[in-house]
Amino acid sequence: MSGNLVARIEGYASIFGAPDMNGDVVAPGAFRARRSAPEIRFLYQHAAEIPIGRWLSFTEDARGLYAVGELILGSETAREAYALVAGGGLDGLSIGFQTVRARREKGGRVILEADLWEVSLVTFPMAPGARVTRLGPPEKPAPPADALAESLREATRLFAA
């Protein structure tokens, strides 16, 4: 695979209302208005020194926090991760965050507000339901939105001339 290819990856980074392996429960809305996708790192196994891609968007639905990103296949680790996900050997997602507001309950905490720092592709997710749901084929990355807009403006100018 060429170094300038990416592979789209999607899945649930966090599941709402279900205890994780520590007994913590993430409440719906816990990640709202904290950070945007470009600021949240895409890591391998929570290792800060091993970024493997970039997150494009996060949305909350009734089930949890849904993440859409790209594995950057110019990275050897990202290529290995791609092969493992494609082959069914790896499918966990896990969040790295700082708790902003929580309440204690029997068995753990309810996370009411959290500052999301990173989402990792992992072997063993703390939230058993946090899994990759889609892996796309390697492809050329889409141009940044501002570059695409400028290209359309230039084409319009040339067409009008």
Question: Which pLDDT score is estimated for 161?
Answer: 59
Q: Is 141 helix (H, G, I), strand (E, B) or coil?
A: coil
Question: Which pLDDT score is estimated for 150?
Answer: 61
Distance between CA atoms of 75 and 56, rounded to whole angstroms? 18
Question: Which pLDDT score is estimated for 152?
Answer: 62
Q: Under 8 Å CB-to-CB from 129, ≥6 apart: which residues?
A: 12, 15, 18, 63, 64
pLDDT in tens, 51-89: 999 999 999 999 999 999 999 999 999 999 999 999 999
CATH number of 6-160: 3.20.16
Question: Which pLDDT score is estimated for 36?
Answer: 73
Closest CA to 31 of 3, 2, 57: 57
Question: Which pLDDT score is estimated for 154?
Answer: 65
**What is the model's pTM?**
0.84
pLDDT in tens, 114-161: 999 999 999 999 999 999 999 999 998 876 655 556 656 666 666 665
